Amino acid sequence: MKPSVRNKATLCIIALSMVLTLVPAAVPAPVSGGELTIVYVGDEPKVLDAQVDPFDSAAMVSALLADELVAKDKAGNFQPYLASKWSVSKDGKEWTFTLRRDVQFQDGTPLNAEAVKFNFDRILDPKTQSGQAADMLGPIVRTEIVDPYTFRVVHGSPYAPFLDSISQGFIPIWSPTAIKKYGPDEFERHLVGSGPFILQEYHAGDRFVLGRNPKYAWAPKIYKHQGPAYLDKVTFRFVSETTTALAAFRAGETDMLIRFPPQNVSDFRGKPNFQVLTAPYTGSPVLYVMNISRPPLDDIRVRKALEHAIDQVQIVKVLYKGEAVATKGVMYPGSPCYWKGAETVYPHDVNKAKALLDEAGWKPNAQGIREKGGKTLQVTLVNAFVQDLGPIVQAQLRAVGVDAKIDQVPGPIQLERAGNGEFSTIFQHMAYSDASVLDMLYNSKNLKPGGWAWTRYKDPKLDALLDQSTVTVDQTKRCQLLVDAQKVIVNQALVLPLFGRQQIAVATQKAKDFGFGSRPNVDLWLYDAYVEKP
Amino acid sequence: MLQYVGSRLFSTFPVLLLISVFVFSIMHLLPGDPAMLILQGQYATTPEQVARLRVDLGLNDPVYVQYGRFLAGALKGDLGRSVQFKRPVMAVILERLPRTAELTAAALVIAVAMGATLGIVAGVRQNSWVDNFSIVLSVVGLTMPIFYIGLLLILLFTVKLAWFPVTGGTDLHRLILPGFTLGFVSSGIIARLVRANLLEVLRQDFITTARSKGLADRAILYRHAFRNMLIPVVTVVGLQIGGLLSGSVITETVFNRPGLGRLAVEAILWKDFPLAQGTILFTATAYLMVNLLVDVSYAWLDPRIRYS
């Protein structure tokens, strides 16, 4: 057993997959023309406008139709986009953006500070019923037009995730003219942005057809070329049934499947007619949250024993044939501010786990299950989402004498249990772009109805670190705070990390130079994409 | 006749009222605050969001006021606003309705055409291979889950033969596989029923009389037997339409069709209560209307049936 080697191997795979993402697929020069049909395995956005809809699928399409104020490159750095430059005041509360003067929305409306203010105000207006965008903007007190091409946002308190938020498809800048023209109910059917693609057809429940914006001339430097996109047309379909999506792909009805089911990837890997592109998500990985307010997990020795008992590499191999990222960290290894040290704190070590349980007074009975004071060492694994996960974790815990009961419940029941603390361990996964995900999941102020701090750990020191990280705009200082927070979370053994998921695209060889950005759940890069023989 | 239709229409009101009570209570029977449930699946939820949604859904009023508002709205065709789609529920339903209507119609045509043909041939040629085949087919149709039939058809006709698409293609082209999947189940039932009824009618005295008068077999079948065996068949076909509406839930999911069935599933999964209530109420009403049509059609089929 060499856990450290395993972890290194995992990291190598992650690094390799990142490098592969960056390397262009083919050498011939891109040509204009042709079309791609893309099937997204999942539900269609109910409202295509990501200023309103809270789901990734809406942000993914919105980002192709509209531009954002700033861009985020694959390395995670912010680059000019609609804003040619920006600055933040010393107190971290005022963000000032200087806008490009050459940008036009697809309906001819010019982009200026007034248009950007209109969009921000729309997102913040409760009548818009923004599902996620409004929260992502932070504690905004007011928005200002400084001059026709200078726009300012004033926060009540410094808000570190701000640049990341406004660089996402959730904050697309739409044409104010079109928003006013179509009204709140109909605008999402007639989205008009300044992006490289134009929304041409909207067939609710079936497909969206995007066409090229011939006037596009303001691509950010994160892409390879300038000028209009290469593709004439992109058709998006949303298929929630995995089997149906796979059948459509095998029948040649679509050129690409995104959010491809990991367990099926091996059918296409290494086949000459197909290409597989993976990009790990960021945020909080798939894990079991431990309820530290209830026995037996109120004892840190038991929690640490569980950490040592879990073999993440085996789980990934059995569940997904290796198409996921095994991790012992409380953040995805590719996340900003990820603490690498987490991977080595609890190496998979059955003997160490047993020793810790012995120390805590839990002794094995005749069946090998541990007991103390007449009670058996029992934990529940509450899980509504990944059905096959329970039995593997159960077997690994059984190997050290823990009797794990699988509690397969419907989604709403799981959330109810999480809320009222009726569990010993409970499934959680939060793919999230910004490191503020830690604040969301571990700050004890978020142990409230609808909140996500399920472990019930209350520690003023951890809360202070997380509070501080949210208001620290300086990224280096902020990361230090977040790394310190991760150390507390890992050392207290608050969760059982398992693995990180990946965005997976499987495509025929027709599609070239498509890719995922640093947030692969929403950044589908099609601007540089082309087809070989249009 | 008109009076009968009127009284039948009138008697559907209590049923509709009961349905509306049931549908309305869905949201209130689930444990917890509906606004909370709706928002819980999303990212961090703020108390302000919950409060706002409670106001939007009118949850702060007493339950009877809420029901009254729901009923009054429903009578005017206003089923509230969908939480997910952010549009009127009625608009979302009407947008999807044609897709389900055409699927149900296609399935019904296929079911009746296949079922009646098989049933008649099986009835006329009792114990022949056609008869045995119809038995096998109806057993398969009755016992195999729709989603399984659908997946097998996709595997054969889309993946292997590439005759029909699952996601692309023109609308009519895309209708055939799901229509067949859904119709297949009913065709078995219809075939068995047609066969049994035909056999029974053929044994009746008036058929013997017709035969003794020297009428040709074909004439006896067309002119005398068919119409007399139709009543139970029409009843079952009517019931099948209800079955088709519920079957469309699965068929539409397997074939990724934007219809009412899939809409209902999504509404429930996403806890979009106004939309779930709306689709269920709408479908139930449609089912009641089909039943009414079936009852009325008896008179047309059999002049001996008088409504008074």
Contact by Cβ (8 Å): B275, B283: no
Lowest mean pLDDT among A395-409, A430-444, B2-16, B222-236: B222-236
Residues 260-319 of chain A whose Cβ lies under 8 A from any Cβ of chain B: none
Cβ within 8 Å of residue B216, ≥6 positions away: none
Give the Cβ contact number of residue A223 at 10 Å.
Answer: 18
Q: What is the pTM of this model?
A: 0.85
pLDDT one-digit tens code per residue, A186-235:
999 999 999 999 999 999 888 999 999 999 999 999 999 999 999 999 99
Helix axis angle, A389-398 relative to A300-309, nearest 10°? 110
Q: Looking at this protein, which amino acid is placed at residue A361?
A: G
CB of A364 within 8 Å of any CB in chain B? no
pLDDT one-digit tens code per residue, B75-107:
888 888 888 888 899 999 998 888 888 888 888
Q: Quick one: pLDDT at residue B170?
A: 61
Residues 126-165 of chain A whose Cβ lies under 8 A from any Cβ of chain B: 126, 129, 131-132, 135
Nearest residue to B167 via CA among A203, A60, A530: A203
CB of A39 within 8 Å of any CB in chain B? yes
pLDDT one-digit tens code per residue, A458-490:
999 999 999 999 999 888 999 999 999 999 999
Question: Are B32 and A131 in contact (CB < 8 Å)?
Answer: no
The nearest alpha carbon in chain B to A249 belongs to: B159
Lowest mean pLDDT among A116-120, A142-146, B19-23, B210-214: B210-214
Query: Is the pLDDT higher at A442 or at A475?
Result: A442
Q: Quick one: pLDDT at residue B169?
A: 55
Q: Quick one: pLDDT at residue A1?
A: 35
The DSSP bridge partners found for residue A154 are A94, A142
Contact by Cβ (8 Å): A159, A471: yes
Question: Are A244 and B96 in contact (CB < 8 Å)?
Answer: no
Query: Model confidence at B307, in pLDDT bands (50, 70, 90)?
Result: low
Nearest to B36 among A240, A247, A449 (CB): A449
Task: Kindly write down the DSSP assignment for every residue of A498-509, as one continuous string.
Answer: EEE-EEEEEEET
Q: Enter the tokens of residue A381.
A: 């694994």
Q: What percent of chain B has pLDDT over 70?
A: 91
Q: How far is B281 from chain A (nearest CA, A)?
A: 21
Question: Are B43 and A206 in contact (CB < 8 Å)?
Answer: no
Question: Are B167 and A254 in contact (CB < 8 Å)?
Answer: yes
pLDDT above 70: residue B32: no
Q: What percent of chain A has pLDDT over 90?
A: 75
Query: Sign of dihedral through CA atoms B17, B22, B24, B28?
Result: positive
Chain B residue numbers touching A419 (CB-CB < 8 A): 40
Q: Quick one: pLDDT at residue A534?
A: 66
Q: Looking at this protein, which amino acid is placed at residue A432?
A: Y
Q: Quick one: pLDDT at residue A448?
A: 79
Cβ within 8 Å of residue A183, ≥6 positions away: none
Query: Model confidence at B306, in pLDDT bands (50, 70, 90)?
Result: low
Lowest mean pLDDT among A319-333, A503-517, B206-220: B206-220
Q: How far is A251 from chain B (nearest CA, A)?
A: 5
CB of A247 within 8 Å of any CB in chain B? yes
Nearest to A204 among B84, B256, B258 (CB): B258
pLDDT above 50: residue A157: yes
Chain A residue numbers touching B155 (CB-CB < 8 A): 247
Residue A331 DSSP code: S
Q: How far is B91 from chain A (nearest CA, A)?
A: 11
Query: Sign of dihedral through CA atoms A78, A83, A89, A90?
Result: positive
CB of A252 within 8 Å of any CB in chain B? yes
Contact by Cβ (8 Å): A142, A163: no
Question: Are A132 and B46 in contact (CB < 8 Å)?
Answer: no
Question: Are A412 and B52 in contact (CB < 8 Å)?
Answer: no
The nearest alpha carbon in chain A to B50 belongs to: A450
Q: Enter the tokens of residue B53.
A: 């949604």
Q: Quick one: pLDDT at residue A3?
A: 39
Nearest to B50 among A129, A132, A450 (CB): A450
Nearest residue to A60 via CA among A81, A43, A77: A43
Residues 193-222 of chain A whose Cβ lies under 8 A from any Cβ of chain B: 203-206
Chain A residue numbers touching B165 (CB-CB < 8 A): 248, 251, 253
Our CA dihedral for B34, A59, A330, A412, rounded to 10 degrees, sits at 20
Q: What is the mean pLDDT of residues A245-259?
A: 92
Lowest mean pLDDT among A53-67, A125-139, B236-250: B236-250
Lowest mean pLDDT among A112-121, A193-202, B267-276: B267-276
Contact by Cβ (8 Å): B81, B88: yes
Query: Model confidence at B46, in pLDDT bands (50, 70, 90)?
Result: low
CB of A254 within 8 Å of any CB in chain B? yes
Whose tokens are 């005295």? That residue is B205
* Residues A136, A164: Cα–Cα separation, whole Å: 9
Contact by Cβ (8 Å): A503, A281: yes
Query: Is the pLDDT higher at A490 or at A334?
Result: A490
Segment (H or E) for A277: strand A274-280
Query: Model confidence at B71, in pLDDT bands (50, 70, 90)?
Result: confident
Q: Quick one: pLDDT at residue A509?
A: 93
- CB burial readout B287-301, b (16+ within 10 A) else e: bbebbbebbebeeee
Q: What is the mean pLDDT of residues A152-167?
A: 94
Chain A residue numbers touching B103 (CB-CB < 8 A): none
pLDDT above 90: residue A315: yes
The three-state DSSP-derived secondary structure of A381-440 is: EEECCCCCHHHHHHHHHHCCCCEEEEEECCHHHHHHHHHHCCCCEEEEEEECCCCCHHHH
Q: Enter the tokens of residue A530.
A: 């082309």
* Residues B299, A15: Cα–Cα separation, whole Å: 76
pLDDT above 90: residue A408: no
Q: Quick one: pLDDT at residue A2?
A: 38
Contact by Cβ (8 Å): A136, A165: yes
* Residues B308, B306: Cα–Cα separation, whole Å: 6
- How far CA B247 is from CA of A216, A235, B95, B261, in Å, comes to 47, 29, 19, 8
Chain B residue numbers touching A416 (CB-CB < 8 A): 31-32
- How far CA A173 is from CA of A85, A110, A131, A161, in Å, comes to 17, 12, 16, 18
The nearest alpha carbon in chain A to B174 belongs to: A206
Give the Cβ contact number of residue A441 at 10 Å.
Answer: 27
Nearest residue to A65 via CA among A534, A529, A524: A524
Contact by Cβ (8 Å): A117, A179: no
pLDDT above 50: residue A19: no
Contact by Cβ (8 Å): B115, B194: yes
Q: Quick one: pLDDT at residue A178?
A: 97
Give the Cβ contact number of residue B42 at 10 Å.
Answer: 15
Lowest mean pLDDT among A141-145, A246-250, B252-256: B252-256
- How far CA A453 is from CA of A291, A294, A314, A415, B269, in Å, comes to 10, 15, 28, 12, 24
Q: Enter the tokens of residue B242.
A: 């209800």
pLDDT above 70: residue B207: yes
* Residues A222, A428: Cα–Cα separation, whole Å: 33
Lowest mean pLDDT among A395-409, A486-500, B51-65: B51-65
Nearest to B158 among A126, A247, A419 (CB): A247
* Residues A426, A292: Cα–Cα separation, whole Å: 12
Residues 86-125 of chain A whose Cβ lies under 8 A from any Cβ of chain B: none
Q: What is the mean pLDDT of residues A506-530?
A: 94
The three-state DSSP-derived secondary structure of A343-377 is: HHCCCCCHHHHHHHHHHCCCEECCCCCEEECCEEC
Question: Are A241 and B162 in contact (CB < 8 Å)?
Answer: no
* Residues B11, B256: Cα–Cα separation, whole Å: 37
Contact by Cβ (8 Å): A15, A362: no
pLDDT one-digit tens code per residue, A51-105:
998 888 999 999 999 999 999 998 889 999 999 999 999 999 999 999 999 999 9
pLDDT above 90: residue A312: yes
pLDDT above 50: residue B190: yes
Q: Quick one: pLDDT at residue A20?
A: 47
